[in-house]
Structure 1
Amino acid sequence: MTPKPLLKYLLALSCSLPLFTSAQINPKLTSYVNPFIGTGAVKGSLSGNNYPGATVPFGMVQLSPDTRDEPEWDAACGYDHNDNFIAGFSHTHLSGTGAPDLFDILFMPYTGDEKTRAGNAQQAGSGYGSRFSHDHESARAGYYQVKLDDYGINVELTATEHAGFHKYTFPKNSQGRVVIDLNHSTKKPNFGCHVIAAQFHMVNDHAIEGFRVITGWAKLRKVYFYTEFNKPVKSNDLIDGGTQYFDQKLLNGTDLRAVLNFNTGDGSPLLAKVGLSTVSTQNAKLNLVTEIPGWDFNQTVAQANAKWETELDKIKVEGTEQQKQIFYTALYHTCIQPNNYADVNGDYTAIDYTVHNSKAGFYSTFSLWDTYRAANPLYTLIQPQRTAGFVNSMLSQYQAYGYLPIWQLWGQENYCMIGNHAIPVIVDAALKGIPGFDIRKAYEAVKNSSTTDHPGSPFKAWEKYHYMPENVLTQSVSVTLEMAYDDWCVAQLAKKLNKTADYAHFMERSQYFKNLYDTQSGFFRAKNNDGKWLSPFNPLQYGGNGGNPYTEGNAWQYYWYVPQDVKGLIALTGGDSKFTAKLDTFFTLDSKPGEVNGNASGFIGQYAHGNEPSHHITYLYNYAGQPWKTQYYVAKICRELYNTSSSGYAGNEDCGQMSAWYVFSAMGFYPVNPASSVYVIGTPVMRKVVMQLPLNKKFTVLAPNSSADNIYIQSAKLNGKAYTHTFITQQDITSGGTLEFVMGPKPNEHWGVALADRPVK
């Protein structure tokens, strides 16, 4: 029994202590997402090319500020953290790509009469835009906010799958206006960009709809919109180029802007809801009224945040606050795309420009040269249902177009990059038993896409020469290496389906990489169709995207691209010791000629983490019996080449690939061969990882003494039993269980070195 004086003291003490809610004890995972990570470079680096605006997982709409009137390569997402000017807020963006496009249906609020507006525009340097400060800007998952300094307007944005929701708080006693710009795009005429047709239609005094047909990196895109306001439009000024039409209800043209005037003097917010569609304004309206039926902005913010919480909850981690911020922002970035651009009724505009319907949705934005390496294998673990949707969407292109996507954007093929990397994505899903698609149709698609000539893939030459000649197709060494890998993937699916002859043929093709190996130089080199080596040869010289045998890299970086046969590559190199010695040189050779490609950054010797060809290389030491060196370099990259600043990525984030590398590596393993169902162990960054899997199973990784110093694996257990393999399998993970590491500050050169412990694929 507690004495009464003591009881009174304890009660008084309890009242004086701060109250800790369950949210404070277990903060939402979305609280660790920082959308500003990777939005702006520092000198000498790339940043990620990410935008900070509002979106929901895999949604069609990405409502974000554009800090350029005509975004170009250096701000392909539309936003650069180093800028202090906002041109407006457009509804579609690309996440971390190396090329710009979209920027559809730009909105920009402003105040004052036309004379005042013109003065502000001249002062700001462009258009209807405004200066801003990062001191008055914020963002979180599903929400963005900024104050426009030139107008004193506070802008808040959120989104649903197919709609954007704007909230503008104007200064009291101000004349509020909103510009809608249908000509805003990447710099014209890059990629042949121009608006083919556009239209405004004033539906009533609270609604406006329209469309634009535009061509650019993605050819001939149709974008329809329907907008509702919570306040009546007092008057409008529709503009085509330099011609103005006052209070007109309809306008067609190619350089359209609408200036809408509102009564905002009472200081109450102006709300605008904008639905998008690829099919029609009617469908844009249907999307809008279905997803945002009311006017509760905060409720839509909360719903967007809840959708993100659901996705992030699939992997729970314990680590430092900085590690969790990097991890969950990375996981957030992996779930931005591909984008489901089918309307709520299933309609979408297909690659043949006819309207198709899929109740399961239709996905686009496939940056496959990047994402097949790690992002797509990650989806097979935490997004199996969406993975089936991705595969079915790719198969839809095959049915209508004759071959699988190379780089698909807004439902259209742009042929960007090399290889046929829808193949490993589809084969990986098939081999892992992902349900929801026809495996035999999938095999037909991957086989025919590997035998039918199409832009960037001359298979007749491939079959004739057993390598790609540089004078037949430039970037020939990279093409040879990557097509050989794709062929290995086709062979594996053929084997699963008991297609013996196909298996033998594609396995033979998967070895064509050896035909470009030069024993004298010790590198893969280019030949013309006469079989002679191209000279002079400099393994440090970079290629870009044509005119050179290497794609966004050099001979050093592409030397290691044989993920289907690392054992064979080791043999070509001369065995384990020569292989690891060459890796040592690769990671320490700092010489960089002036031709370094703009995509190459994040250097450790010749390793360039800022671009995808290097991403698997740190893990190759495991194949040759020196896993502690893999542990060293993986820890170094996680620690030094990712951070929480606007320059938080070492290169373009590329639709989730740069982030997926961190997500996997921080958990402790990585898919060197993305279609093998094998994950190569690196070093766990997080003290604890719990991955939520289908059927209520969980896979846990424990490394309780992992730290900046303790980066080396001393021992491991899988499900309580000693484990010395330097890899785990898809089956190990999806069956559920626990992988536990004991970490230390010095290498254990006895763990994982035996032949039986090395990765086999």
Structure 2
Amino acid sequence: MMKTRKAFVLAAFCLIIVDLACAQSTEDKVTQYVNPFIGTGAVNGSSLSGNTYPGATSPFGMVQLSPDTRDEPEWDAACGYNYNDKTIAGFSHTHLSGTGAPDFFDILFMPTTGQVHTRAGNANEPNSGYRSRFSHSEESARAGYYQVKLLDYNINAELTTGTHTGFHKYTFPKNSDAHVVIDLDHSLKKPNWGCKVIDAQFKVINEFTIEGYRVITGWAKLRKIYFHAEFSKPITNQIIADGGTVFQNNAVVNGTDLRAVLDFDTKDEKPLLIKIGISAVSTNNARFNMQQEIPHWDFNLAVAQADDVWEKELSKIKISGTKDQKQIFYTSLYHAFIQPNTLSDVNGEYPSINYTIRTGRQYSTFSLWDTYRGAHPLYTLVQPARTADFVNSMIRQYEDYGYLPIWQLWGQENYCMIGNHSIPVIVDAVLKGIPGINRRRAYNAIKASSTVSHPGSPFDIWEKYKYIPENKLSQSVSVTLEMAYDDWCVAQLAKELGETDDYNHFMERSQFYKNLYDTQTGFFRARDDKGNWLTPFNPLQYGGNGGNPYTEGNAWQYFWYVPQNISSLVELTGGKQAFDNKLDSFFTITATHGEVNGNASGFIGQYAHGNEPSHHVTYLYNYAGQPWKTQYYVSKVLTDLYTNNSAGYSGNDDCGEMSAWYVFSAMGFYPVNPASGIYDIGTPLLSKAALKMPNGKMFTMIAKNISKENIYIQAAKLNGKDYQLTYITQQDLEAGSTLEFTMGSRPNKKWGVPKTK
């Protein structure tokens, strides 16, 4: 009896210890700081918020299972969800995060009760369709999990995911007339981007299983999306509608406007569980993806598994700071890790850009005009294996299509934006020695993509005029500046491989930007093919995406875009003092001219943090010998233009680029030239950051005396030795160094030795 009692006490004590260990483990998890609602909707009149979605996804996953508050999303809710909306149309399985154009929204599911509806209805007319009201007080989200109460139906909906699999849990009222709507017509607003459903199919396999596909064209051309769905309860009845034609209990229905309504028994209180695998190749692959990723029916286990996967990825950077700083930081890292998206199936099959089926680890969703600046350099540090897969995915497009991606979506090229910024991504990865990339194969791809003319990159014009004339191609100033940078990148890999003639040729082309510099106005300006300056000229006038020499910006914002040779830009300006004065003007001129482009937001003078062309400019005071001004403006952006609410970003997150700027800058540095392996020092926001490098070593940043007021670097040490440079290198990071700052409330104008990079 005594032994039994002792054993019981010992067992109870062990359980307490285990419980305490679990509690401690949960408390230490970084996933607790992820707030997926950051960036989901503007507040207080702010123009942009981030355009992110709150739903469940896995790191770099194919499935992004999230609520759509719009039946036909447009650019103002390109992710499908806006925090300010009052109703939900359903939960679709693919989304874009932070983009300026909408697409995807594939395979929408929506649980309902009562009257059967096959249309989402009008958001402003209650009970007009299958959509439902919701309240943020009964909505929650974290990494890999989303939950909302559908108020019109009293249904609690919960979502989680695997890489290719969505897992739904619907808790219906007991004894209700329960339905699940599956909408294969739900998409971006038709006919925007030429959007239309070309073909779709439902196939009822048995009382527990339905599968199908749709072929749709839009921003991404001719996408094929297959799905396989299994239910934990039997389907008791089903109708399928193709537009106004209704089919009762048909096993197969094909059409272009398909919706299915499936009925389920709710006599017991068990929730309805649904697992949906998707694929870009076949329904067989969709089923296999689901079976491999979530073979069980334990929803809570799937949620825990999703959390574990996110914890592993986000823990690659450990930080110390306030709760708000941690939430913004880890949500930014989370947003950066949502894409590029897996395109290949579990068995490795994927659709090539030429519509053949290939095998390999393939990714897509390459928003390169945005992400080459900060997100891809970040991936080289914390996602090296995936970086190799990203690069090889880009190279495969060249080999199947003739040139590298510009903006690739679901494996298809949409030619959005300018330049060819696969090039700096590839060059940066190769020069950093990322394993798994064939250097010669990579060089062949970037060289060919820099010599064969294709939409947005007219190399015959480039070589003939040594700039882009506006009457030959609009957005000419921006195109000239960005192509010059890409050419510099090609030259660096040519030099590495001993291709001397190529190196000299591309280095010459990398200086073509000088041919658009107007010494009279002090700006890069447009010329025609006769060499004449285009008039009238106002450096404050904005361009959008055509019809103007500047892309989503103006002459002020594009003046600073010579990241490959900032010392040359300083000389063009008239020296360091003139460069510094121009930067001062840039950050203080508030006047605008005419209509400001919708992508311009987050203003500090003419600096517009809400769009990428400005992102590196806060760091340029380092090149004028006044790094304390870089520290001031970097700190201002970090603290004023990122918040822990639905309006958390000052502009579209653009597939994680806005987030990557924060991740880098909060740690105290940023890649002004993203293919150089050099990181300019700004000012740290965090008291400590530890970054696990691919080689297993730790790079640590420490900021002593950091506070809201103490934003200026008083002194710095690298590995215990005084450090006066305004940058660190890739070699410093890989060595496992410790960078230590001492912070103060006033500028130390003696710290920081100007250094040409």
TM-score when normalising by structure 2: 0.96
Question: Within 2, Cα distance between the matches of 1:735 and 1:629?
Answer: 29
Partner of 2:303: 301
- C-alpha separation in 1, matches of 2:434 and 2:23: 37
Superposed displacement of residue 693, structure 1:
1.4
Aligned equivalents of 2:527, 2:281: Cα separation in 1: 47
Q: 2:59 & 2:20 partners in 1: Cα distance?
A: 33
Q: Distance in 1 between matches of 2:62 and 2:396?
A: 18
1:586 is matched with which residue?
586
Cα offset, 1:125, TM superposition:
6.5
Alpha-carbon separation, structure 1, partners of 2:368 and 2:631? 28
Extract unaligned runs of 5+ from structure 1.
Answer: 1-14
After superposition, residues 83-232 of structure 1 pair within 5 angstroms as: 83-114=85-116, 123-124=125-126, 127-232=129-234
Q: Tell me the distance in 1 between the aligned counterparts of 2:87 and 2:76.
A: 15
Q: Is the 8 A contact 1:85 1:124 kept in 2?
A: no
Q: Secondary structure at the match of 2:619?
A: helix
Q: 1:32 is aligned with what amino acid? A: Y
Residue 699 of structure 1 corresponds to 699
In structure 2, the partner of 1:399 is 399
Q: Residue 662 of structure 2 aligns with which residue?
A: 662
Does 1:69 find its partner at 2:79?
A: no
CA 1:463/1:125 → structure 2, altered by over 3 Å: closer, same or farther?
farther
Matching residue of 1:642: 642
| Alignment partners' CA distance in 2, 1:121 and 1:205 | 33
Please give the secondary structure, in 2, of the residue aligned with 1:541: coil
> CA distance change for structure 1 residues 427 and 604 in 2, over 3 Å: closer, same or farther?
same
Alpha-carbon distance in structure 1 between the residues aligned to 2:723 and 2:747: 17
Change (3 A) 1:121 1:609: closer
d(CA) in 1 for partners of 2:470 and 2:445?
Answer: 27
Q: Which amino acid aligns with 1:663?
A: V
Residue 234 (str. 1) matches residue 236 (str. 2) = yes
Please name the residue that 1:31 is paired with: 32
Shift of 1:576: 0.3
- 1:124 is paired with a residue whose SS is coil
Shift in CA distance, 25/211, structure 1 to aligned 2, threshold 3 Å: closer
CA distance in 2, matches of 1:277, 1:193: 20
| CA pair 238-112 structure 1, distance change in 2 beyond 3 A | same
Q: Are 2:557 and 1:557 equivalent residues in the alignment?
A: yes
Q: What's the offset of the Cα at 1:734?
A: 1.0
Deviation at 1:69, TM superposition (A): 0.4
Cα deviation 1:494-534 (Å, max 9, x = unaligned) = 00001000000000000000000000000000011011000
Is contact 2:666-2:683 (8 Å) kept? yes
Aligned AA for 1:227? A
Residue aligning to 1:710: 710
Deviation at 1:116, TM superposition (A): 12
Letter in 2 for 1:80: N
Distance across 2 between alignment mates of 1:434 and 1:121:
49
Deviation per residue, 1:387-410 (Å, 9 max, x gap): 000000000000000000000000
2:602 — aligned with what? 602
1:421 aligns with 2:428: no
- Root-mean-square deviation (CA, aligned residues, Å) is 1.6
- Deviation (angstroms), 1:706: 1.0
Following superposition, the deviation at residue 340 of structure 1 comes to 1.1
Task: Provide closer, same or farther for how the CA distance between residues 226 and 19 of structure 1 changes in structure 2, counting only shifts above 3 A.
Answer: closer
Answer yes or no: is the 8 Å Cα contact 2:118–2:259 preserved in 1: no
Residue aligning to 2:59:
57
Q: Is the 8 A contact 1:87 1:126 kept in 2?
A: no
The change in CA–CA distance for 1:21 and 1:58 in structure 2 (over 3 A counts) is closer
For the residue of structure 1 that corresponds to 2:634, the secondary structure is helix
Whole-angstrom distance in 2 between the partners of 1:499 and 1:648: 46
Whether contact under 8 Å (2:121, 2:130) holds in the other structure is no
Question: Structure 1 25/108 Cα, relative in aligned 2: closer, same or farther at 3 Å?
Answer: closer
SS class of match (2:392) = helix
2: CA distance, partners of 1:386 / 1:425: 13
Unpaired runs of 5+ residues, structure 2, are: 1-15
Q: Give the C-alpha shift of residue 324 in structure 1.
A: 0.5
Q: Is the 8 A contact 2:87 2:123 kept in 1?
A: no
Q: Could you tell me how far apart the structure 2 residues matched to 1:326 and 1:290 are?
A: 33
Aligned to 1:574: 574
**Compared CA separation, residues 719 and 122, structure 1 to 2 (3 A):** closer
Q: Could you say which residue in structure 1 is the equivalent of 2:493?
A: 493
- Report the Cα offset of residue 124 of structure 1: 2.5
CA separation in 2, counterparts of 1:682 and 1:115? 55
Closer/same/farther in 2, CA of residues 502 and 125 from structure 1, 3 Å limit: farther
Match of 2:379 in 1: 379
TM-aligned CA deviation for residue 120 of structure 1? 10
Paired residues of 1:69 and 1:127 also in contact (CA < 8 A): no
Specify whether residues 333 and 121 from structure 1 end up closer, same or farther in structure 2 by C-alpha distance, changes over 3 A only.
closer
Deviations 1:652-677 (A, max 9, x none): 00001000000000000000000000
Question: Does the Cα contact within 8 Å between 1:121 and 1:128 map onto a contact in 2?
Answer: no
Deviation at 1:121, TM superposition (A): 8.4
Count of residue pairs brought into register by the alignment:
739
SS at match of 2:148: strand
- In 1, the alpha carbon distance for the partners of 2:564 and 2:637 equals 24
- 1:120, 1:150 within 8 Å by CA — same for their partners in 2? no
Distance 1:582 1:279, change over 3 A: same
Equivalent residues of 1:110, 1:117 under 8 A apart: no
Structure 1 position 437, deviation (Å): 1.2
The separation in 1 between residues aligned to 2:359 and 2:573, in whole angstroms, is 52
Aligned to 1:744: 744
Q: Name the CA distance, whole Å, in 2 between partners of 1:679 and 1:512.
A: 25
SS in 2 for 1:271: strand
CA distance in 2, matches of 1:420, 1:119: 42
Separation (CA, whole Å) in 1 of partners of 2:105 and 2:607: 34
- For 1:482 and 1:127, the matched residues in 2 are separated by 48
Describe the SS at the equivalent of 2:435.
coil
Find the aligned partners of 1:363 and 1:21 in 2 and give their Cα distance: 36
Q: Secondary structure at the match of 1:739?
A: strand
Are the structure 2 counterparts of residues 356 and 119 from structure 1 closer, same or farther at C-alpha, using a change threshold of 3 Å? closer
Equivalent residue letter for 2:649 = Y
**AA partner of residue 481 (structure 1):** L
Deviations 1:311-343 (A, max 9, x none): 111000000110000000000001000011210
1:535-578 Cα shifts (integer Å, max 9, x gaps): 00000000000000000000000000000000000000000000
Deviation at 1:128, TM superposition (A): 1.1
Whole-angstrom distance in 2 between the partners of 1:114 and 1:315:
49
Tell me the secondary structure at the aligned position of residue 482 of structure 2. Answer: helix
Deviation of the 1:20 alpha carbon: 9.0
Q: CA deviation at 1:79?
A: 0.2
Contact 1:47 1:649 in 2 (8 A): yes
The CA deviation at 1:707 is 1.0
Query: Is contact 2:119-2:129 (8 Å) kept?
Result: no
SS in 1 for 2:158: strand
What do the CA deviations read for 1:193-249 (whole angstroms, capped 9, x no partner)?
000000000000000000000000000000000000000000100110001000110
- Provide the C-alpha distance between the structure 2 equivalents of 1:24 and 1:206, rounded to a whole number of angstroms: 38
- The one-letter amino acid of 1:647's match is A
Cα drift, residue 593 of structure 1: 2.5
Counterpart residue identity of residue 272, structure 1: I
The residue correspondences of 1:257-406 to structure 2 (distance < 5 A) are 257-358=259-360, 361-406=361-406
**Cα displacement (A) at 1:122:** 8.3
Q: Which amino acid aligns with 1:201?
A: K
Q: Counterpart of 1:65 in 2: which secondary structure?
A: strand
**Which ranges of 4 or more aligned residues in structure 1 deviate by more than 2 Å?**
18-27, 113-127
| Whole-Å separation in 1 of the counterparts to 2:352 and 2:156 | 38
For residue 653 of structure 2, what is the aligned residue in structure 1?
653
- Judge which range, 107-116 or 137-146, deviates more: 107-116
Within 1, Cα distance between the matches of 2:590 and 2:424? 33
| Counterpart code for 1:306 | D
Aligned residue number for residue 6 of structure 1: none
Is the CA contact (8 Å cut-off) linking 2:121 and 2:128 kept in structure 1?
A: no
SS at match of 1:520: coil
CA deviations 1:626-660 (Å, max 9, x no partner) are 00000000000000000001000000000010000
